[in-house]
Structure 1
Amino acid sequence: MFLNCVGMCCSKPTTNTTSSQRQFPTLIEELCHQFSLTDLRKATNNFDQKRVIGSGLFSEVYKGCLQHDGASDYTVAIKRFDYQGWAAFNKEIELLCQLRHPRCVSLIGFSNHENEKILVYEYMSNGSLDKHLQEGQLSWKKRLEICIGVARGLHYLHTGAKRSIFHCILGPGTVLLDDQMEPKLAGFGASEQGSRFMSKQKQINVDRVLGCWGYTATDYLMDGIITAKWDVFSFGFLLLEVVCRRMFYLITLTKKKCLENPVE
């Protein structure tokens, strides 16, 4: 299926810019199809708010409909960043072009307009895991299968790519489910790359708070050092929430509310 990054995205942009003017390495341009802003406006009915299927801190995700080489329409997820999210746009494009695993969401292409930064992904028809945990309708078997799938995706990030990749914001909101309810990791805008696998890991320090409330160990937030243990802690908390369904989701909201409105 052409939704995989390498399988479908083989067309180079038709601009006349020189290599020194390009904002992305040639490899990324070769792996990812560059869509025109006109095509993406058409696919989302000019970014109609009725098409919004998700949102992040600096982005909105739209359900879009595109054509490929005259074939029938196909559904995609179109993530439009605001200017504060342009760094996340660059990071996601760099990382997702490297990732090829059934438990990681596939990047189809991008649009790098002067005032618009947009990524196009495969469409995950069943949305995010947190929605299903709130509804409480997942069977025990399906919850177990989802956890195993997330673990495989996380293991691939840590050991399967040329360089270790730390997701950093793993949680039910960044686990998406396809039409077969198979999980895929998404939301790589805050991820960090470590050293090459099997080499001595360098220490990664960050000067900003990453992670989701309730899913990040307090000591990691305090010292600002990222390792694979960061994701492992998040995965452990995700497991508790999946096993207990909605209980830990409510605890997380309560914890966040208390941090925002401390008792005097």
Structure 2
Amino acid sequence: MLRQRIITAAWLAPVVLIGLFGLQGGAFALFTAFMVLLGAWEWTNLAGISRQSQRIQLVAGAAFLMLIMWFAGAALAVWPLWCAALGWLLNLYWVTHYPDKGHQWQATGRRLAMGLWVLIPCWVGFNILRESGAVWLLFVLLLVWAADIGAYFAGRQWGKRKLAPRVSPGKSWEGVIGGMVATTLLSIAFALWQPLGLAGGIALVLITSVVTLTSVLGDLLESMLKRYRDVKDSSQLLPGHGGVLDRIDSLTAAIPIFALLYLQVLQAQVLAL
């Protein structure tokens, strides 16, 4: 298993980095759409669709929707991000009330609808951040990785109080705090590097705290869906690593929320430099 994980990571990491930071415009939109559509393929299974023909049709429908959004300019619009913000508030309610409120989302159609406000705004957020400058796309990627690393080590060392035992028994509040410490340090470093000034630095730290917590929610949401579906991984598309959603679950929440807060709060500070 370890050997397979290393082999997959050895070719996957360069492809992802080249795609995210070497491409721009339509090529970047196409690359990120491919990533999101792989996640959509897995989501159809988490939604309870087992027939491959139905899954292909649903993914094709999502691809057509993204194509329309691109030509209509909606792939760089703010309204899908607001939809994501409302959707993630609903996801928070369902995760914190699992399994008591499961009847509200467990129908296949509702899980498919959930996938729309999780995956499509993530694609939009990718495009907005890339258009705004690769540095902010890099920041949100590092934020998610720092949150994961900080949570892992803090959780192992001090984790006692369970975060959501009925959804993901391994996560702890101490891990969340460790992740927030790591991302706060990252945001301070970025504020000094840009530099954003005092007001911009404070804004970035506050935004980082919100996005860090949102990234945790993204992880918990997928865990909830997999638990209900009784599967360990979203798929086996990435040998040794599970599925695409297993790798980007935190990003599906962090990307659109950071993009929204960047546009509404931080962009003015950046443009004033």
Q: Identify, as 1 or 2, the structure richer in strand.
A: 1
Question: Could you state the TM-score of these two structures normalised by the residue count of structure 2?
Answer: 0.31
Question: Could you state the TM-score of these two structures normalised by the residue count of structure 1?
Answer: 0.31
| Structure with larger RCO (C-alpha < 8 A, sep 6+) | 2
